[in-house]
Amino acid sequence: MSGELVDVHAHVLPDWYVDAAKAAGHTTPDAMPGWPTWSVQEHLAMMDQVGIDRSVLSISSPGVHFGDDTAAGSLAVEVNDFMRGLHREHPGRFEYFAALPLPDVGRAINEARRTRDLPGRSGVGIESNAHGVYLGDPALEPLWHELAAQRAVVFVHPTAPPGFDPTLTGYPAPLLEYLFDTTRTIVHLAAAGVLRRHPEIRFIVPHCGAVLPMVLSRVDLFRLAGLVPSDVDGDLGWEQLWFDLAGAPVPDQLGAFSRRFGTGHLLYGSDFCFTPAFAVDLLAKQLDDGWPDERGPWRVQVAENSAALFGRNT
């Protein structure tokens, strides 16, 4: 496993999931123009083109909860069994983060337990907020207890914040709101003490940490002023946080990130199929040219990092 390029930010999008999302009103996901297409064959072809050995699949925003707890629980089971089937058919290429139907904590715990030992599960996937419930919310504490007992990896994917109105700016949520909602929920997670209470959980933060590196000094200032808990340091307990390279991190984000954290917790992420194959290839080439040379080429480093992260689960 240590030499493999692992894509931790890769999405499945079966037609029946899109149909369910559209039926619930998500005709343009987070104000994007429309849903992309996806197939197993297209995904494998992209992986071969870019040199990705293995993809850890997940569902993107808006997740599996469209407003009805029972329906969300059923859709989570359907999504997870579908991804498990892909692992069964392509065991060397596909694993998955099991979708959890938050904000229904009870059903989320049940699905985390049901999938815990299923073949191909590398952890669980959740959104940055679930209908306004952010990751530091006390209501989620029973879930964190369960995931700590599992020593789980938790992949956090951004979604639109509550009250998002694209008509105010004309921009879809992924342009800016995804980055800020990711940052908001990770700061909330740390400030609420979740990282301190549950050191067994490892969280994957998408998009090269979003804007975390740019606001950490501000978090520390507010901590010194007594407005953030005193045991939340300026790096938020970052040893439990891992960060994927989805998006366009070169040169600005990656430069700021590596100056603060180094590259030892960076993982590869393509964001396929919401990022089309040609753009995935282009972004990989940008990493080739713009990687901060700390321990050698980026492919070698992120392969070592993913082996370190998932080592306890394999």
Query: What torsion do the CA atoms of 117, 199, 311, 260 make, to the nearest 10 degrees?
Result: 140
- The first and second tokens of residue 262, run together, are 């180094």
- The first and second tokens of residue 102, run together, are 């938050």
> Which pLDDT does position 295 carry in this prediction?
66
- The first and second tokens of residue 242, run together, are 């891992």
> Which pLDDT does position 228 carry in this prediction?
80
For residue range 183-216, list pLDDT tens digits in order. Answer: 999 999 999 999 999 999 999 999 999 999 888 8
pLDDT confidence band for 275 (50 / 70 / 90): very high
Tokens 């959104």, residue located: 127
> Are 304 and 2 within 8 A, CB to CB?
yes
Go through the chain and tell me how many residues it has.
Answer: 314
If we measure between CA atoms, which residue out of 90, 94, 62 comes closest to residue 75?
62
| Max intra-chain CA distance, the chain | 55
> Which pLDDT does position 102 carry in this prediction?
98
For residue range 64-117, list pLDDT tens digits in order. Answer: 999 999 999 999 999 999 999 999 999 999 999 999 999 999 999 999 999 999
Residues 6 or more apart whose Cβ sits within 8 Å of residue 68: none
pTM: 0.95
Instruction: Give me the percent of the chain exceeding a pLDDT of 70.
Output: 95
What is the DSSP annotation of 174-197? Answer: TTTHHHHHHHHHHHHHHHTTHHHH
Burial state string for 125-153 with b = 16 or more CB within 10 A and e = fewer than 16: bbbbbbeebbbbbeebbebbebbeebebb
First CA to last CA across the chain, in angstroms?
Answer: 9
Among 46-50, 169-173, 187-191, 291-295, top mean pLDDT goes to 46-50
What angle do helix axes 212-224 and 252-261 make, rounded to 10 degrees?
50
> Which pLDDT does position 219 carry in this prediction?
86
Is 312 a residue whose pLDDT tops 50? no
For residue range 1-43, list pLDDT tens digits in order. Answer: 458 999 999 999 999 999 999 999 999 999 999 999 999 999 9
Nearest-angstrom CA–CA distance, 126 and 25: 20
Is 234 a residue whose pLDDT tops 70? no
